């Protein structure tokens, strides 16, 4: 027995000073085993630029949403809660015409870009090697809108193509197809190709295999790409400004012509509705891209 009343184990070997851990090693081991919150306590100030960036980005949006419910025409004076500007919005003929043109363009672009983007993604995945063609397929999504708008306008002028809603549909389909292609390509990487092989081994034709096996597996990515294409076309301004005719303006162009003389409460109400549609569509697209993924199935 020791002086503290604790017995010693005769099977224990004495510690060799040459192989004993040093103080530095013990300190390092203690830091690694320490709670994560304790280790990060000293870098809390690094979050300040992050929150300032969020404040700079989202505070104007919050102001627009709040002021859309303001009973006063003065955007900087709160006179009480009111829904009058939403009712007034639906009596604005110019806004309604622009909304109608935008919906025609957005729906047409969604259909065209979804079909072309899906077929392009399947073709790239099956019949190409390397990343060059893949990079070219998504390049329109990375090009600046100003460059793409000027290029399309120059092309229309070169072939004497009449401007109108059809020219906007073609222009929007160029970049929307690139987004759909990128999303469907990401979805293809997670599908089970053994099901396609089994279908072909059982005698199904390539078309039947694609319609009955491949397409249902790609459907979440296709729907997500279609939603994203609709949202992008709905809000796009620069390319539409260059490729639309003066007699058929889209909604963003109508809003631009209105806010040049000052932002009205009706514009705030319209911006709030567009924000709501965009948020719901993007969240739904994000959710659909996760369906069937490995992380979702775990």
pLDDT at 294: 47
Non-local CB neighbours of 286 within 8 Å, separated by 6+ positions: 224
Alpha helical stretches, state H, 128-214 = 132-142, 145-158, 165-188, 193-201, 206-209
Is residue 19 predicted with pLDDT exceeding 70?
no
Residues 245-265 pLDDT 10s: 988 899 889 888 887 777 778
Angle between helices 93-127 and 132-142 (to 10 degrees): 170
Note whether 124 and 181 are within 8 A (CB).
Answer: yes
Q: What angle do CA 176, 280, 228 make, to 5 degrees?
A: 10
pLDDT at 4: 47
pLDDT at 96: 86
pLDDT at 36: 52
Residues 89-123 pLDDT 10s: 888 888 889 889 999 999 999 999 999 999 999 88
- Domain range annotation of the chain: 45-82, 86-297
86-297 has which CATH code? 1.10.3720.10
Given pLDDT bands bounded at 50, 70 and 90, which one contains residue 68? confident
CA distance 75 to 42: 42
Element (H, E) at 31: helix 23-33
Helix or strand or coil: residue 21? coil
Number of residues written out for the chain: 298
């Amino acid at each position: 027995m020791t002086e503290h009343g604790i017995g010693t184990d005769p099977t224990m070997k004495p510690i060799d000073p040459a192989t004993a851990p040093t103080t530095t090693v013990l300190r390092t081991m203690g830091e690694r085993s320490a709670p994560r919150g304790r280790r990060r306590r000293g870098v809390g100030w690094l979050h300040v630029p992050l929150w300032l960036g969020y404040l700079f980005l989202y505070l104007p949006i919050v102001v627009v949403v709040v002021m859309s419910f303001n009973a006063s025409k003065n955007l900087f004076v709160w006179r009480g809660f009111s829904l009058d500007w939403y009712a007034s919005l639906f009596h604005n003929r110019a806004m309604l015409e622009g909304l109608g043109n935008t919906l025609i363009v957005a729906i047409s672009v969604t259909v065209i870009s979804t079909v072309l983007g899906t077929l392009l993604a399947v073709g790239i995945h099956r019949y190409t090697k390397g990343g060059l063609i893949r990079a070219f397929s998504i390049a329109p999504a990375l090009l600046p809108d100003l460059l793409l708008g000027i290029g399309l306008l120059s092309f229309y002028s070169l072939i004497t193509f009449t401007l109108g809603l059809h020219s906007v549909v073609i222009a929007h389909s160029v970049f929307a197809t690139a987004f759909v292609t990128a999303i469907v390509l990401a979805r293809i990487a997670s599908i089970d190709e053994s099901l396609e092989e089994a279908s072909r081994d059982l005698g199904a034709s390539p078309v039947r295999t694609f319609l009955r096996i491949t397409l249902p597996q790609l459907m979440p990515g296709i729907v997500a790409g279609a939603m994203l294409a609709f949202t992008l076309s709905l809000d796009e301004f620069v390319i539409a400004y260059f490729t639309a005719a003066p007699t058929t303006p889209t909604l963003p162009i109508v809003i631009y012509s209105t806010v040049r003389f000052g932002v009205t409460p009706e514009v705030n109400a319209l911006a709030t509705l567009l924000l709501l549609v965009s948020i719901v569509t993007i969240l739904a697209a994000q959710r659909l891209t996760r369906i069937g993924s490995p992380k979702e199935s775990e």
